[in-house]
Amino acid sequence: MLLAPTIRRMQEVSRSWQKKGLAIGLVPTMGYLHEGHLSLIKKAVQSCDRVIVSVFVNPLQFGPSEDFESYPRDLKKDRSLCRRAGVDALFVPSAREMYPASFQTSIEVEKLSRGLEGAVRPGHFRGVATVVAKLLNACLPNVAFFGQKDYQQAVVIRQMVADLNFPVKIVVCPTVREPSGLAASSRNSYLGESERKEASMLYRALQLGAEKWKAKMPAEEVIRIVKDYIAKHSGFEIEYVETSDPKTLLPVREAGRPAVLSLAARLGKVRLIDNILVGAGLKT
């Protein structure tokens, strides 16, 4: 497995693959790889001739009071997981490589970035869209793989790719969960054993909400039931629970319509997000 620390080197490698007519897949990550990442990598290995995984903790998408410094990192383990999974190249640029001192351009996907995560984390999706655009230009993939776990992110990236005509196909893969239902996440490593149990209640609450939504219960009641369940069964503090249109991400209030039911919640300093699709969602 090749290790590419610079954009120039990564582009050289990708161009040499392109010349041979090989289909290149990219899985962008912030590292500390888990089963969720590995499911994306597996899909990429199955459907592409060459697979690149990028590992870059992107400072641009963290707010000033967020966990950029403490975000878990273990490149050695990531390397061995990638090697075992059949990855061809690991792209691991430094922050200076991605953002030299003269850097001054960013990408804003306006409407889709406004609500949900965007409302609580101002500038987050500007950071995400900008880094993904740079990763696409550095790795030159034919296909890029994202997780439904970060639903709004996937929708934002699809819009950016369409608006800016990136010649890449975006594939969105289902959320991988632990047996308890807790969505796999690098941030789960912040949780102790009993906190993990509490965290699994978030998915239980979403499942309950999805049932009620399917049964055409009004949105306000569904949201209240999800919030109440979390408050009753865990110490998590809810940041938001929302029923949104799967394409526009605007709030949906018509009971039973296709929707993404999503939430963000905190336990101390740990902030987790999760979602569940009810009815037709993103084409994966």
10 is a contact residue toward ligand AMP (CB under 6 A): no
Find out whether 92 and 54 touch, Cβ atoms under 8 Å.
yes
Answer for which of 37, 50, 124, 271 binds ligand AMP (CB under 6 A) is 37
Residue 252 has phi, psi (to 5 degrees) of -105, 130
Answer for which of 13, 40, 160, 264 binds ligand AMP (CB under 6 A) is 40
Answer for which of 39, 159, 234, 243 binds ligand AMP (CB under 6 A) is 39
Answer for which of 173, 225, 238, 249 binds ligand AMP (CB under 6 A) is 173
Answer for which of 14, 142, 185, 188 binds ligand AMP (CB under 6 A) is 185
Nearest-approach distance from CB 181 to ligand AMP, in angstroms: 11
Q: Which of residues 149-168 bind ligand AMP (CB under 6 A)?
A: 149-150
Residue 98 has phi, psi (to 5 degrees) of -80, -40
- In the complex with ligand AMP, the residue whose CB is nearer, 150 or 198, is 150
Q: Which long-range contacts (CB under 8 A, 24 or more apart) does 216-223 make?
A: 216/255, 216/256, 217/255, 218/253, 218/255, 219/243, 219/251, 219/252, 219/253, 219/254, 219/255, 220/253, 222/255, 222/261
**How far apart are alpha carbons 262 and 206 in whole angstroms?**
8
Nearest-approach distance from CB 221 to ligand AMP, in angstroms: 28
How big is the site for ligand AMP, counted in residues (CB under 6 A)?
17
Q: Which of residues 93-152 bind ligand AMP (CB under 6 A)?
A: 146-147, 149-150
Answer for which of 52, 138, 155, 184 binds ligand AMP (CB under 6 A) is 184
Site string for ligand AMP, 13-32 (x = CB under 6 A): ----------------xx--
| Residues annotated as part of the active site | 37
183 is a contact residue toward ligand AMP (CB under 6 A): yes
Q: Which of 12-20, 63-71, 158-166, 181-189 is the region at the interface with ligand AMP (rule: CB under 6 A)?
A: 181-189
- In the complex with ligand AMP, the residue whose CB is nearer, 20 or 76, is 76
Answer for which of 186, 188, 243, 262 binds ligand AMP (CB under 6 A) is 186
